[in-house]
Amino acid sequence: MDENLLNDLVAAARKAGADAAEAVGAERRSLSITVRMGELEEVEREESRDLGLRVFVGQRQATVSGSDISPEARAKLVERAVAMARLAPEDPYAGLADPDHLAKGALPDLDLYDPTEPSAETLEERARIAEAAAREVPKVTNTDGASGSWSSSRWTMVTSDGFLGVHRASGFSIGASAIAADEGGMETGYDGRSARWQADLPAPETLGAEAGRRAASRLGARKIDSTTAPVIFENRLAASLLSPLIGAISGPSIARGTSFLKDRLGQPVFAKGVTVTDDPHRVRGLGSSPFDDEGVRNERRDIVDAGVLTTWLLNTATARQLGLSTTGHASRGLAGPPGVAPTNLTLQPGEKDLAGLMKDAGTGLLVTSMFGPSLNGNTGDWSVGCAGFWFEDGEIAYPVTEITVAGNLIDIYGRLVPGSDLEIRGATNSPSLLVDDLAIAGR
């Protein structure tokens, strides 16, 4: 998006009566190919250019967005935004970020943009290779398809305080879903990976074979009786345990007083061996950005340091409400004021691999899929549907299904033991996690 166009939009908003304004432009191109059972199933292509405008009239604010960037449409966008702001209720915390907090000077080079643009034929070939590898696994009888995709995006932000920032990124992905069957029934398995640079993707045949292996390994899954036992969350999904943490330490939750961690800042929340890091400047990271969505400088933080909760996640408005400073975690789309979100969240690894955790636990449950989580945000009571494997004497015994794991997250966090098998697969990552004793609801 042309920076001059956004500067003109901000200037027009000021001229129309706004005391301050912020304009963002988003450009995106993408291509996705899906195949199923060796046949081309779907082709999706997107090209979009969109504008967003946030204006302030005193302590009142309004946000509007649109995809028509013609001069006439921009004029109507400005007129509508200022009119809406004048009618909005006053918000004592509304306003642009403080100039002292803005990212200034040379921004960090995060290597997020790969100029390679694969053809539809290339993406289709990757998907075909991944699916073929899945279908070659014994007992795989069908698939839910495989896909290859590419995207390119550019985010530009201009404010009336003089901030100008441009954030450009690319994305490449491959995924495959396999279905295995025997006389006892059918099971599914999936594997996929996304990366900023094409060269960082694993080989499609590796992903497809893993999808098939995971499906076939689930055949013969049993139901088990309700019990209490050690539970290990596999590294691929263990990061799901961090989602309630992020909700509980986000500024809006703290400001509303609706968090089970609202009184725990500066206190031990996790086991002493647990450190959780948020790093917006990870090179080629899927959650990386050189500044937050208010133009605020961001930085690496240990959100949890040796078990101790060190910070809330704040944008400008919630920081003002709490009498604190923004932590550079503002997150927004084109419409609506900024919310709060982490960037590259990582629970740091421990000392033992998955086999070592299973050996320490002896007998228990290895969770390899989770669905339908339920959380009481005020108390931390949590439950989730699961499937996985029962292990005995530190070795996999048989697959299990239709079970629920439940507990209180403050108790669970306090007993987490991280494994050493950390893999950076997305924006939120964790090694396998052991909890020494949890309630397991079965038949």
Q: pLDDT value at position 401? A: 95
Q: What is the pLDDT of residues 247-262, one digit of tens each?
A: 999 999 999 999 999 9
Distance CA 352, CA 130 (A): 31
Q: Closest by alpha carbon to 330, among 61, 111, 96, 52?
A: 96
CA angle, corner 304, sides to 364 and 369, nearest 5? 35
* Domains of the chain and any CATH numbers: 3-216 (3.30.2290.10), 221-443 (no CATH)
Cα 29–chain centre separation: 21
List phi, psi (to 5°) of 38. 80, 0
CA dihedral angle for residue 278, residue 281, residue 282, residue 288, rounded to 10 degrees = 80
- List Cβ neighbours of 173 (8 Å cut-off, separation of 6 or more): 147, 148, 149, 150, 192, 193, 194, 195, 201
Distance CA 21, CA 9 (A): 9
Distance CA 389, CA 136 (A): 24
- List Cβ neighbours of 17 (8 Å cut-off, separation of 6 or more): 57, 82, 86
CA dihedral angle for residue 416, residue 420, residue 212, residue 371, rounded to 10 degrees = 20
Q: Six-digit token pair at 316?
A: 């400008």
Mean pLDDT of the chain: 96
Distance CA 380, CA 367 (A): 20
User: What integer is the mean pLDDT of 221-238?
Assistant: 96
List phi, psi (to 5°) of 170. -125, 165
**Is the pLDDT reported for residue 393 higher than 90?**
yes
Q: Residue 348 burial by CB count (10 A; 0-12/13-18/19+): exposed, middle or buried?
A: middle
Does the model's pTM come out above 0.85?
A: yes
User: What integer is the mean pLDDT of 308-317?
Assistant: 98
- Would you give the DSSP letter of residue 169? E
User: What integer is the mean pLDDT of 45-66?
Assistant: 96
| Confidence band for 1, pLDDT divided at 50, 70 and 90 | low
Percent over 70 (pLDDT), the chain: 100
Q: Six-digit token pair at 99?
A: 């100039």
**Amino acid at the residue 335:** A
Q: What is the pLDDT of residues 126-168, one digit of tens each?
A: 999 999 999 999 999 999 999 999 999 999 999 999 999 999 9
Q: In the β-sheet with 276-278, what is the strand arrangement from edge to edge?
A: 308-309, 301-305, 276-278, 345-347, 428-429
- Would you give the DSSP letter of residue 223? -
Distance CA 197, CA 334 (A): 26
Please name the residue that has the structure tokens 């209720």. Answer: 89
